[in-house]
Structure 1
Amino acid sequence: MAQRVGAGVAITGSGSSVPERYLDNEALSRVVDTSDEWIASRTGIRQRRLADAAGSLRAIATQAAQNALDMAGVAASEIDLIVLATSTPDDLFGSASQIQHDLGATQATAFDLTAACSGFVFGLVTAAQFIQNGVYRKALIIGADVLSRWVDWSDRRTCVLFGDGAGAVVMEASERDRLLGFELRSDGTLNHCLNLAYQGQDRELVDGVAIAQGTFQPITMNGQEVYRFAVKRVPEVIEKALFRAELTVDQIDWLVMHQANQRILDAVAERLGIPSEKVISNMASYGNTSAASIPLALDEAVRRGDIKPDDIIATAGFGAGLTWGAAVFRWGAS
């Protein structure tokens, strides 16, 4: 791959954080007509973490970011950019600036990015452009979601899937570019397959003038359509990212995909010819944490010692929009 003009990037630290409270399948079976066997056999999920009423996206995202900074040995005051990938901010105007304040990252520009379960990959690529162009040198990319706020707990098709969590990475300028290739895609014609939609209702303000006020409705999903979309499009986008990186599938050390469903992970790995021992999966413990799922799984694998410096990571996200994307990078500083 041709060397880009400007600095390269390296991912030098990771961190994660989840709420303490958890809901396992057995407990969930007392809420809706389901069972541990039914959920686990269809999704691979055994439990999920849930924020309580006092919990916030801000808190878990800040903790995940601080853990990533600590691993990278970077002070918050050194960070130039914070990209928060989330669909569930505490404040609809955005939560990135709150996290910037909590971290003490006084020099950082901070903004929210929404691409649902693809958000972390989109955020990673977005932050890289600022560094590669020489505008910034150090960035925090955070993926965090509290989807339990927007789940219909009477709908067993969706309530068994989602959990809350946050993950983050530190990205720094590097002489050698460790982001080897990427591909991002969107298809709005499939938007109806997965929604967390606003629904308004007219209310008369004064004579002849009405306003629409309402709120967002619980998550709805066509699971079969999302499955078919993912097992077709995700292998393609990973292959395109590998092509841009001038790498082959057998050179991948680890596949770290969005943790949506174990069947999807297995199907994508099989289509690509990636052995199961190279596939990182932690959805049994956390469920689908949307934008948090990739950095959360990545951080756990790094802290276990499975992912080591110079390992080649292929990562892919897919979800509402519909959006999907993949990035290939070497772990650690050059």
Structure 2
Amino acid sequence: MTIQQSTDTAHAAMLGLGVHRPERLVTNDEICEVLDSSDEWIQTRSGIRTRRFAGEDETLIGMSVSAAERALAASGVAAGQIGCVIVATSTYPEHTPASAPQVAAALGITSAAFDISAGCAGFCHALNLASSMVRSGAESHVLVIGVEQLSRFMDPTDRGTAFIFADGAGAVVVGPSDAPGIGPTAWGSDGTQAHVITQSPSCLGGHSDRDHPVVQMEGTAVFRWAPFAMAKVAHEALDLAGVGVDELDAFIPHQANLRITQTLAKNIQIPDSVAIATDVVDSGNTSAASVPLAIEAMLRKGEATVGDTALLIAFGAGLSYAGQVVTLPPLGQ
């Protein structure tokens, strides 16, 4: 007896993109009503001017569904064609059940659905999984969602995180294409630096007066690591895709901090002709949602166009990282 296997599909691409940005716009001045800081200090340190926080009635699942519906519409793919739903998040408040099956149910999908947690690198990790599924023939179409509600897990008095993190959701439909639209992924981890971005206390509680965990980050350690280590990863992703840095149309890194983006772009030697995503200025750091949100912002503002070649790279808690060269997808309204 011979076990049958799926038939390979030659290429995969992002077929459609959708996002959800919460309505509540939060300025630095509002942050400083609680945080001992100033608008000038925050902009100097991070480049951030505003960010979005979810309203009390906005759930992580609802935000995911909103972004997914727009991605499906942009792709022209029906919900019934989705063979798997992958949600990348670190802020769904329940350990079990995962958020993805509930997102799938809200969309009328009964296919496989699961969450992954790779911090701010989650979207690029999920994109690699989806591309591999499609190219292997395991699934024809995969829905990838990066979503966070970091405002629910912040200490508003913490000068290391309170002005940085924000909320949002971005989704893409990955499916077969006539030409390669998602390059091989350069990814990895460095668990020796797990202490750099953490939650405290753990879910088991311990010695703390907090009623739930909050995100804590050693910002200086991240700044010393990301712009330099990720430059090597970026060149690995370019080499794997067979694309030169001067052939890029856009560079879209995780929107951690404007200073990190600028230093990383310099270390990669991104040419002046390549557009660089700076959505962190308006949206803050939305962790696993930041890359799709940044893609949307560039397409919406005309800084990039559908079909452009872009380098994605993301990095975060773990420490974990991933990057790939992609073709930018159509945008949902």
State the TM-score, normalized to the length of structure 1. Answer: 0.91
Q: Identity of aligned pairs, percent?
A: 36
Shift of 1:332: 4.1
Shift of 1:216: 4.9
Preserved contact between residue 199 and residue 215 of structure 2 (Cα < 8 Å) = yes
Match of 1:130 in 2: 133
Shift of 1:199: 5.2
Match of 1:273 in 2: 269
Match of 1:328 in 2: 325
1:93-145 CA-to-partner distances (Å, cap 9, x unmatched) read 21001110111123x21110110100000000011111111010111110000
Q: Does 1:80 align with 2:83?
A: yes
Distance 1:192 1:75 in 2: 42
SS in 2 for 1:144: strand
Q: Does 1:262 align with 2:258?
A: yes
Alpha carbons of structure 1 residues 33 and 332: separation in structure 2 relative to 1, 3 Å: closer
Preserved contact between residue 193 and residue 222 of structure 1 (Cα < 8 Å) = yes
- Where in structure 1 do 4 or more consecutive aligned residues deviate above 4 Å? none
State the TM-score, normalized to the length of structure 2. Answer: 0.91
Q: Does 1:186 align with 2:186?
A: no
Match of 1:207 in 2: none
Match of 2:225 in 1: 229
Preserved contact between residue 143 and residue 167 of structure 1 (Cα < 8 Å) = yes
Higher strand share: 1
Paired AA for residue 229 in structure 1: W
CA RMSD, Structure 1 to Structure 2 (Å): 1.9
Paired AA for residue 164 in structure 1: D
Alpha carbons of structure 1 residues 76 and 90: separation in structure 2 relative to 1, 3 Å: farther
Distance 2:56 2:186 in 1: 38
1:12-56 CA-to-partner distances (Å, cap 9, x unmatched) read 111100211122101111111111100011101011111233221
SS in 2 for 1:158: coil
Paired AA for residue 9 in structure 1: A
SS in 1 for 2:85: strand
Q: Give the unaligned 5+ runs of structure 1.
A: 203-213
Shift of 1:248: 1.2
1:277-307 CA-to-partner distances (Å, cap 9, x unmatched) read 5101111111000000000111222233433
Paired AA for residue 312 in structure 2: T
Distance 1:246 1:232 in 2: 22
Distance 1:220 1:306 in 2: 33
Match of 1:102 in 2: 106
Alpha carbons of structure 1 residues 236 and 54: separation in structure 2 relative to 1, 3 Å: same
Alpha carbons of structure 1 residues 137 and 126: separation in structure 2 relative to 1, 3 Å: same
- Taking the TM superposition and a 5 Å limit, the aligned residue runs for 1:1-334 are 6-93=9-96, 94-106=98-110, 108-197=111-200, 198=202, 200=204, 216-275=212-271, 278-332=275-329
Distance 2:139 2:218 in 1: 40
Distance 1:125 1:231 in 2: 22
The aligned length equals 319
Preserved contact between residue 17 and residue 329 of structure 2 (Cα < 8 Å) = no
Paired AA for residue 28 in structure 1: I
Preserved contact between residue 13 and residue 131 of structure 2 (Cα < 8 Å) = no
SS in 1 for 2:72: helix
